[in-house]
């Protein structure tokens, strides 16, 4: 792996943007494992003078996790405990964000303000020490101690955090999984002699049921990055809920041998199961019940490695049929709460939206469940995901794109306001079309000349772009307090061949609003954070002001009068084409 990384970081992107191999190594990891794009990677790197032992910070809104990355790019084969102590030092400093920000470098100061906001939203912290070497035995002992210390600190401070060492072998595994992220297939071999298993054929299905040692569980690939749970109705619920806290407490207590009796067990399915020479070979492995447990067990990995006579019940089923696998996933998860987005997938309003959408668009498909994919026969332009629709609705109808990043809020706190049985399918598809046309302008070619800082926020800033499109129509019609119907807007824009022009105006206005906010004087010891600005409601006034300024300045630009006349014609809607904003705060 080391040789491949050395070769990869010779690429112009790494050589031109990062001054040394240490930074290039961290950047390579962000690009190839966290799958950050080139702009996001540059934004995430904090390494340099006064970096406070923090080389990079990745805030993953989908996983509600803050990744604190420390890299050690070494030519030797072993790593002592010093890097681990640096990681622990960074955690101690993070507990006092005010002081840490005061003495940090400029990039870290800005990132820390984003960290503070994420912690307000109850994000977890995951420390990752990435190294091309292997830990010495003394360092492994230190890791076990630090994991326990972090667990204790998490209980006391109510901030959930974990620490993981990503050595050369683990980097290779994560790299390989990232390559097949779109369609992961996990294969794993269980040593049956390590546990107590019974293998039978039930209802024509191969089944293996038994007690697997906890230390064997953490060897199963795909836990941390979630690829092991693709067929589950949910991903990790985090380490902060009561059940997962109880699991950690059992692991670290003298009652760990009773883990088997305290735990309901884990259910996994695979496409093919082979029993050979005392091993169980599993092809296309996926855990459909036990995601939380395995993530929690992994967070205590060093403690788990030394536990003896500590088992968990495991059920392996050979289930190649997709529909049967889905039913098993749903039924095995029915006994405990899942994420709000997953709970809503079978809500009557959602099912009605799906029915009406697919009735209106026979070539389309409405995805309601996480991990579900549309049939290959469907037109991708008319494939709509429930999660995306929620984000569109709150950005357009509630005029709160600053909340679009939070799936939990959309499907929990604001679900009643957003999802209505009578919502028209043509409006849903119009939002889908507007958004995908917007995304075309957020490419690496950057046709709108957007600020690089804005491009680094591709995970949530395009929803502000969608909001700006709606405001172009609202402001042009003197209806700034009301919201136009998406389908009416799209019909007019498409009829006059002005979709691209309106998206351009909205994007330029968003860009102008960000740059204006960045140039405003900041209070003493405060640093402007684009990410915090984009997640704050105050950014909306800036976007609206920029749209008004653009409209007023357009006649003064070369050819602007003609464009203004075309815009007036296209943007003109009737009063009945508007409705009041759906309250979301």
Distance in angstroms between the alpha carbons of the first and the last residue of the chain: 50
Determine whether 568 is exposed, middle or buried from the number of CB atoms within 10 Å of its CB (0-12, 13-18, 19+): exposed
Cα–Cα nearest to 315, from 478, 197, 409: 197
| Cα separation, 129 vs 343, whole angstroms | 35
Per-residue tokens: 211: 């007690």
Q: What is the pLDDT of residue 140?
A: 79
| Cα separation, 460 vs 534, whole angstroms | 8
| Cα separation, 175 vs 485, whole angstroms | 44
Residue 191, beta-bridge partner list: 279
Residue/partner pairs of 483-486 with CB below 8 Å, 24 or more apart = 483/396, 483/397, 483/399, 483/578, 483/579, 483/580, 483/581, 483/582, 484/573, 484/577, 484/578, 485/424, 485/427, 485/430, 485/577, 485/578, 485/579, 486/396, 486/427, 486/430, 486/431, 486/434
Q: What is the pLDDT of residue 371?
A: 65
Task: Say which residues have a Cβ less than 8 Å from residue 398's Cβ, sequence separation at least 6.
Answer: 414, 417, 418, 581, 582, 583, 584
Q: What is the pLDDT of residue 556?
A: 85
Q: What is the pLDDT of residue 170?
A: 82
Extract the residue ranges of the chain whose pLDDT is less than 50.
182-183, 233-234, 237, 334-337
CA quadruple 559, 564, 565, 570: dihedral sign: positive
* Global pTM exceeds 0.95: no
| Cα separation, 333 vs 355, whole angstroms | 25
Cα pseudo-dihedral 437, 442, 448, 452, rounded to 10 = 160
What does the pLDDT look like over 41-65, one tens digit per residue?
999 999 888 888 889 999 988 778 8
| Cα separation, 546 vs 514, whole angstroms | 10
| Cα separation, 470 vs 395, whole angstroms | 9
Query: 5: how many CB neighbours lie within 10 A of its CB?
Result: 19
Question: Which DSSP category does 232 fall into?
Answer: S
| Cα separation, 431 vs 445, whole angstroms | 24
b/e map 394-404, b = 16+ CB within 10 Å: bbbbbbbbbbb
| Cα separation, 39 vs 60, whole angstroms | 15
What does the pLDDT look like over 352-387, one tens digit per residue?
899 889 988 989 999 987 767 788 889 999 999 999
């Amino acid at each position: 792996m080391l040789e491949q990384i050395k070769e990869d970081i010779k690429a112009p992107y790494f050589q031109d943007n990062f001054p040394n191999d240490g930074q290039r190594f961290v950047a390579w990891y962000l690009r190839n494992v966290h799958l950050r794009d080139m702009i996001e990677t540059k934004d995430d790197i904090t390494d340099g003078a006064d970096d406070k032992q923090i080389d990079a910070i990745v805030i993953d809104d989908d996983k509600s996790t803050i990744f604190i990355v420390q890299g050690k790019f070494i030519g030797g084969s072993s790593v002592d405990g010093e890097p681990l102590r640096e990681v622990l030092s960074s955690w101690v400093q993070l507990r006092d964000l005010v002081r840490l920000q005061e003495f940090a470098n400029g990039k870290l100061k800005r990132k820390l303000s984003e960290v503070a906001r994420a912690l307000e939203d109850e994000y977890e912290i995951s420390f990752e020490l990435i190294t091309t070497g292997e830990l010495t035995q003394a360092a492994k002992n230190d890791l076990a101690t630090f994991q326990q210390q972090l667990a204790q600190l998490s209980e006391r401070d109510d901030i959930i955090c974990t620490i993981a060492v990503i050595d050369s072998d683990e980097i290779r595994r994560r790299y390989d999984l990232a390559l097949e992220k779109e369609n992961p297939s996990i294969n794993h071999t269980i040593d049956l002699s390590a546990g107590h298993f019974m293998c039978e054929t039930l209802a024509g299905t191969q089944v293996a049921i038994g007690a697997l040692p906890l230390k064997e569980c953490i060897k199963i690939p795909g836990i941390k990055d979630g690829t092991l749970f693709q067929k589950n109705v949910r991903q990790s619920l985090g380490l902060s809920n009561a059940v997962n806290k109880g699991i950690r407490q059992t692991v670290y207590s003298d009652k760990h041998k009773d883990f088997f009796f305290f735990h309901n067990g884990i259910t996994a399915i695979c496409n093919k199961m082979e029993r050979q020479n005392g091993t169980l070979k599993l092809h296309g492995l996926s855990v459909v019940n036990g995601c939380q447990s395995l993530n929690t067990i992994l967070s205590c990995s060093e403690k788990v490695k030394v536990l003896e006579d500590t088992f968990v019940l495991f059920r392996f089923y050979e289930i190649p049929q997709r529909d049967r696998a889905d039913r098993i996933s749903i039924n095995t998860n029915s006994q405990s709460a899942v994420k709000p987005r997953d709970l809503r997938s079978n809500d009557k309003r959602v099912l009605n939206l799906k029915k009406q959408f697919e009735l209106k668009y026979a070539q389309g498909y409405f995805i309601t469940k996480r991990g579900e994919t549309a049939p290959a026969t469907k037109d991708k332009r008319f494939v709509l995901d429930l999660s995306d629709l929620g984000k569109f609705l709150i950005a357009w109808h509630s005029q709160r794109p600053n909340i679009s990043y939070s799936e939990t809020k959309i499907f929990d706190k604001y679900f009643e306001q957003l999802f209505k049985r009578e919502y028209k399918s043509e409006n849903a598809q119009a939002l889908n079309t507007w958004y995908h046309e917007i995304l075309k302008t957020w490419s690496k070619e950057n046709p709108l000349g957007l600020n690089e800082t804005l491009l680094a926020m591709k995970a949530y800033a395009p929803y502000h772009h969608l909001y700006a499109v709606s405001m172009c129509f609202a402001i042009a019609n003197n209806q700034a307090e009301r919201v136009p119907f998406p389908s009416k807007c799209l019909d007019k824009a498409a009829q006059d061949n002005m979709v691209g022009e309106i998206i351009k105006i909205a994007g330029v206005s968003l860009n102008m609003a960000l740059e204006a906010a960045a140039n405003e004087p900041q209070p003493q010891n405060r640093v402007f954070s684009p990410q915090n600005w984009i997640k704050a409601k105050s950014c909306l006034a800036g976007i609206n002001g920029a749209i008004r300024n653009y409209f007023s300045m357009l006649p003064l630009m070369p050819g602007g009068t003609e464009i203004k006349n075309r815009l007036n014609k296209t943007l003109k809607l009737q009063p009945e084409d508007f409705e009041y904003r759906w309250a979301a705060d």
